[in-house]
Amino acid sequence: MKTSAFLYPWDVVGDPDAAARVADLGVRQVTLASAYHSTRALTPRHPRHRVVTAEHAAVLHPLDEARWADAELRPYAAGDWAPGDAYGEAAAALADAGLDVHTWVVLAHNSRLGAEHPDTSVVNAYGDRYPWAPCVARPAVRTYVASLAAEAAVRPGAAGTELESLGWYGLAHLHAHDKIGGVPLGEAAQYLMSLCFCSVCRAGYLSLGLDADELTAAVRRALEPVWNGAEAPGGPEQGWPAVERLLGADLSSATLNWRARTARTLQEDTVAAVRAQAGPGFQVLLHADPHPHRTGANAGVDPAHILGTADGVVLPCTGGAARAMLTPFAAHRPESAVLAANFTVVTGMGGSPGTLADDAAHARSLGATELRLYHAGLASDSDLAAVAAALSRLG
């Protein structure tokens, strides 16, 4: 199975041993961030630093000013955590070490964009804005996403891309000093708290025959048992049936219809924009989840639709999730489509590099065609040694 490891440019730039160290793991490919959200990242082997703080979402390469000259929304340049063409410098070093390089592009996830353009954000049923979550129904956001994907995905020498958060983001978000865990939220409550009621989405609900004010009131009523503790997460119904029980089948179906249609067309337009920029043979994968109502970095999709739109998907399979993630896609997979099983290999982040060989074999039996390893730059030396041993076993 072809295996790719995720990296940030700052894992490589300034460390003359980084590229060879990654190649020695036994991977054939690196998925290298070219546009990424704000983060604080450990660099446990870098000769010049141990912690990198990316203060805001940014492109990690020089911005094409001509593309963005008249744009309503535009990406931000990186600061000193990725100066100049950090992506290009890292990509060149990795290629010199014999590794294929694909880009890693984060799209609908940008807190600075939401802070500076608050009208772009998802608005929940209580009127609260989520600045980290651009509403993908808004025309300016959709134009921004497709343009960013085309530019950040198609970098010199890249043979393909992986597009993250190409769909709805929601309430769940690793925020600084997060304090929203006081009332545990199950999957149904997460969905209801992720529904958007901005002006565009309100008009979208109206187009389906829903009164947005009445829908807002219905969502609030549905959430009351959550706030007062009567509706505990992990109850008898999970997933979409739990949403239907709280909100009702008809209203739930209508909201999902609007959101799924909005996400599908955005995904189609964005993949088309990347392919038009790249030309034939450029591989386009999406980080995805097989349940369309789910939100976040791995956007919920319809498996049959997305495998007819992109060249494949990257699926989170850590912690025993492989069967739930892979099976729905395997049932619709064209022969040429990629199903990449993504395993966290950082022990401190919940990964299990010591079981990687067995986990990979299990994923392959479920239809996985490739592996992804998150994340070679964040992992300890012992984690990387376990990865190398596992990949050696896999052959």
Interior angle at CA 375, CA 370 and CA 379, nearest 5: 130
Q: Is 226 helix (H, G, I), strand (E, B) or coil?
A: helix
* Greatest CA separation for the chain: 60
Check pLDDT > 80 for residue 125.
yes
In the numeric block, which tokens belong to residue 149?
């994907």
**pLDDT band at 183; cut points 50, 70, 90:** confident
Q: What is the pTM (predicted TM-score) of this model?
A: 0.97
**pLDDT band at 184; cut points 50, 70, 90:** confident
Q: What is the pLDDT of residue 175?
A: 74
Average pLDDT over residues 292-310: 97
Domains of the chain with CATH codes: 2-178+260-394 (3.20.20.80)
Q: What digits encode the pLDDT tens for the residues 252-262?
A: 999 999 999 99
Tell the residue number behind the tokens 């997933």, with chain if given.
Answer: 239
Check pLDDT > 70 for residue 347.
yes
Residue 143 CB burial class (10 angstroms; 0-12, 13-18, ≥19)? middle
Average pLDDT over residues 53-74: 97
Tell me the C-alpha distance between 76 and 60, whole Å: 9
**pLDDT band at 39; cut points 50, 70, 90:** very high
**pLDDT band at 230; cut points 50, 70, 90:** confident
Q: What is the pLDDT of residue 286?
A: 98
**pLDDT band at 321; cut points 50, 70, 90:** very high
Bridge partners (DSSP) of residue 2 are 370
Average pLDDT, the chain: 96
**pLDDT band at 128; cut points 50, 70, 90:** very high
Check pLDDT > 70 for residue 369.
yes
Tell me the C-alpha distance between 268 and 265, whole Å: 5
379: left (phi over 0), alpha (psi -120 to 50) or beta: beta
Q: What is the pLDDT of residue 182?
A: 81
Q: What is the pLDDT of residue 177?
A: 65
Q: What is the pLDDT of residue 67?
A: 96
CB contact set of 228 (below 8 Å; sequence gap of 6+): none
Is 178 or 219 the better-scoring residue by pLDDT?
219
Instruction: Report yes or no: 167 and 108 within 8 Å, Cβ to Cβ.
Output: yes
Q: What is the pLDDT of residue 334?
A: 96
Tell me the C-alpha distance between 170 and 124, whole Å: 9
Q: What is the pLDDT of residue 181?
A: 76
Instruction: Report yes or no: 365 and 322 within 8 Å, Cβ to Cβ.
Output: no
Q: What digits encode the pLDDT tens for the residues 194-216?
A: 999 999 999 999 999 999 999 99
**pLDDT band at 234; cut points 50, 70, 90:** low
Instruction: Report yes or no: 152 and 144 within 8 Å, Cβ to Cβ.
Output: no
Check pLDDT > 70 for residue 235.
no
CB contact set of 50 (below 8 Å; sequence gap of 6+): 42, 43, 44
In the numeric block, which tokens belong to residue 262?
């909005």
Check pLDDT > 90 for residue 66.
yes
